[in-house]
Amino acid sequence: MMVVIVKAPMEDSMSPLLVGTVIAVALAASYALLRRAVLQAHQPVRAEIQVRRLRRDPVTGEYRPM
């Protein structure tokens, strides 16, 4: 004796709209996390060297440190 069970195709699965929404949300979340990780990794580091200010000598026209 052989028993064949036939199910409707959409009976057990989620609707295509719901599947598309879940995929879109997952992609958006992974993009946001990846972008945040990349931006934090590549932020420029400020140099610790102090900038020397120069002023112009009115007589000779040379620039000298203040």
pLDDT tens-digit profile of 24-59?
999 999 999 988 887 776 666 676 777 778 889 888
Q: Model's pTM, two decimal places?
A: 0.43
Mean pLDDT of 16-27: 92
Query: Mind spelling out the 3-state secondary structure of the chain?
Result: CCCCCCCCCCCCCCCHHHHHHHHHHHHHHHHHHHHHHHHHHCCCCCCCCCCCCEEECCCCCCEEEC
